[in-house]
Amino acid sequence: MNIRVSDASARAVGRIEIDRISISLGEGVDAFEAVRDLDFSISPGELVCVLGPSGCGKSTLLGALAGHLPVTQGRLTVDEQPVVGPSPDRGIVFQQHTLFPWKRVRDNVAFGPKMRGVVRGERHRAADEILRLVGLAGFERFYPSQLSGGMQQRVEIARVLINRPRILLMDEPFGALDAQTRSMMQEVLLDIWTRIPTTTVFVTHDIEEALFLADRAIVMSARPGRVIDDIDLPFSRPRQAELVTEPGFVQLKRHIIGLLKQREGSSPLPRLSPLG
């Protein structure tokens, strides 16, 4: 398997249509609406952060995109196909890694191709290639427990991307890492996403993380989660850590803090004026 920069853009796959979806959780008297009337689309190759307070339904939305959870109302499609169940086409990375502890790094990464019947030599070559890309050359024969948290998350990303998914779903993947590792992992992710352009939906409650990573930040209200803003981020790429100190960045951060402070039922803040 050859991983080339042009692949995904040439394929132009990974369009997500979220068409007026609501998702209810719980049963009977305990049933409640977790997200309400979400309505937006995501273009092929776009990196979108979904930002919102804890409990607003971000993981619920991601679970629906992954095909683990049904929507109660509305329609969810990827490249015009309704999402009806999980698929390697929609890979998901969680905060806690899900690597097999008894398998070496290479075998963890090669697991998807193995399940598809790719022969050993070929799947190991593909695994080593993608491990190089995530900065783990030399660690192929390690076990997950021998790696740091940041390195385990790199393996997790490699394990998903080796399947060349249409969609990469990330649920607060760096939430358990210390600040410095987290910041490094954000740069690693952007580097990987540049090399393997994949539609990415990255969920976080961290405003800076969303602004640093995304093409677009979708801001959700407290439960039931609704979209309260959808912001195109004007920052050029490649992005460096210093971006977070630039005036335009700080202005947007302040705007979002204001949005998230609003209590339910209050009138929406005016839209942000163009950045000067």
Tell me: does residue 70 bind ligand ADP (CB under 6 A).
no
Cis peptide before 234 (omega within 30 of 0): no
Instruction: Determine the 3-state secondary structure of 235 from DSSP.
Output: coil
Tell me: does residue 226 bind ligand ADP (CB under 6 A).
no
Closest CB to Mg ion among residues 53, 88: 53
Closest CB to ligand ADP among residues 94, 235: 94
Closest CB to ligand ADP among residues 25, 118: 25
Tell me: does residue 166 bind ligand ADP (CB under 6 A).
no
- Contact between residue 70 and residue 33 where contact means Cβ atoms under 8 Å apart: no
Residues 6 or more apart from 143 whose CB is under 8 A from it? Answer: 101, 102, 103, 104, 105
Query: 149-161 and 179-195 are packed helices; what angle lies between their axes, rounded to 10 degrees?
Result: 20
Q: How far is the CB of 110 from ligand ADP (least distance, A)?
A: 31
| Distance from the Cα of residue 39 to its chain's centroid | 18
Instruction: Using CB under 6 A, pick the residue from 14, 44, 57, 173 that binds ligand ADP.
Output: 57
Instruction: Using CB under 6 A, pick the residue from 15, 58, 90, 182 that binds ligand ADP.
Output: 58
Stretch that binds ligand ADP, among 2-10, 55-63, 207-215, 252-260 (CB under 6 A): 55-63
Q: Tell me, what amino acid is at 10? A: A
- Contact between residue 209 and residue 241 where contact means Cβ atoms under 8 Å apart: no
CA–CA gap between residue 79 and residue 92 (Å, rounded): 18
Q: How far is CA 205 from CA 38, 208, 220, 260, in A?
A: 18, 9, 10, 10
Tell me: does residue 67 bind ligand ADP (CB under 6 A).
no
Tell me: does residue 54 bind ligand ADP (CB under 6 A).
yes
Closest CB to ligand ADP among residues 151, 211: 211
Tell me: does residue 59 bind ligand ADP (CB under 6 A).
yes
Stretch that binds ligand ADP, among 57-65, 154-162, 193-201, 208-216 (CB under 6 A): 57-65
**Which residues contact ligand ADP (rule: CB under 6 A)?**
25-26, 34, 52, 54-60, 223
